[in-house]
Amino acid sequence: MKDKAILGDIHPSGQLLLTIGIGLFITIITLITGILVALPVTGKSMGLLLGGLDARDPENLNMVRYFQIISHLGMFIIPSFVMAWFFGRKIMKYLYLVKIPSGRMILVSCLLVFAAVPLINYVLEMNMQMSFPESLKGIENWMRRAEENAQQLTHTFLAVETPGGLLFNLFMIALIPAIGEELMFRGVLLRIFDRWSGSKHVAVWTTAIIFSAIHFQFFGFFPRMILGVLFGYLVVWSGSMWPAIAAHFVNNAAAVTFYYLFHHKISEGTFENLGKGSEGLIYALVSLVITIALMWWVKKAGRTSNPRIE
């Protein structure tokens, strides 16, 4: 009885509602704590910090970065461990962190990200061309403004001038999201939807849709969803969270690094633009074949070393 999870037996719908509620509560507490810690350093009022800082102001940029990290801890990382304890008791096992995959599995998972680049770029280009009927133009305009604001913030974060700034971005944009988002989406939520639907395929696709939607970048919805599907199957077929974390990190780290190289005119952006333009479909089809082949290998290797995950 001591090992029995407190909320392990409640219906998955209840677990989902609890995850949302407790997640929001922890997010609020973490942000308030972060603000209280920052007050003596910034000299700004709590009202101003609560209202949000303009990242375009260079004086605010480091503080915005600080709150970016704090919010990610509060939204994803801390709630993931809390919910894993409530639902599974054995936190590491519940979050698929116990099994350490082979070096070959990690390598293939990272190569998968690069193999999927042309496919992702092709889908992104199609997604960017999405157009709504005249009656829904107001919604489309709102979505495009949200997309532009998100891209502007991303560019502000990425436009660093020093290797030290690059390393910090790798920590803030690549490492922390890779850990936090995978623990929440491919850990907590994937288990909930697996129990609810009785199908790991439904669980993978559902969590991928939520994963993409929660970023509120609507014109990048489908490529991000595809990445979510790949990360989900990496967990399901390998029986471990680590390949998905590694692939997620490599995906984000590559975007951060390529932006830095392009920003400093070290790279012309050739590789990261594969799949776009007039020949995009050809590259996308080749990318699709290679991606499927690598995922087939992951499934086969995972089945050999770990016939089923619990």
Q: Are 235 and 95 in contact (CB under 8 A)?
A: no
If pLDDT is split at 50, 70 and 90, which confidence band does 3 have? low
Which amino acid, residue 234?
L
Banded pLDDT at 47 (limits 50, 70, 90): low
Q: What is the pTM of this model?
A: 0.90
User: Highest-confidence range of 98-102, 129-133, 264-268, by mean pLDDT?
Assistant: 98-102
pLDDT band at 53 (very low <50, low <70, confident <90, very high): low
Average pLDDT over residues 194-207: 96
DSSP sequence for 81-141: HHHHHHHHSSHHHHTT-S----HHHHHHHHHHHHHTHHHHHHHHHHHHT----GGGHHHHH
* pLDDT at residue 144 in the model: 80
Q: Specify the 3-state DSSP secondary structure of 274.
A: coil
**1 has a pLDDT exceeding 60:** no
H runs (alpha helix) in the chain: 12-42, 46-51, 58-72, 78-88, 91-94, 103-115, 117-128, 137-158, 163-169, 176-181, 190-197, 200-213, 221-238, 242-263, 280-305
Q: CB count, 10 Å around CB of 161? A: 10
Tell me which residue of 41, 141, 109 sits closest to 295, measured CA to CA. 109
Q: What pLDDT does residue 307 have?
A: 45
Residue 293: the pLDDT is 97
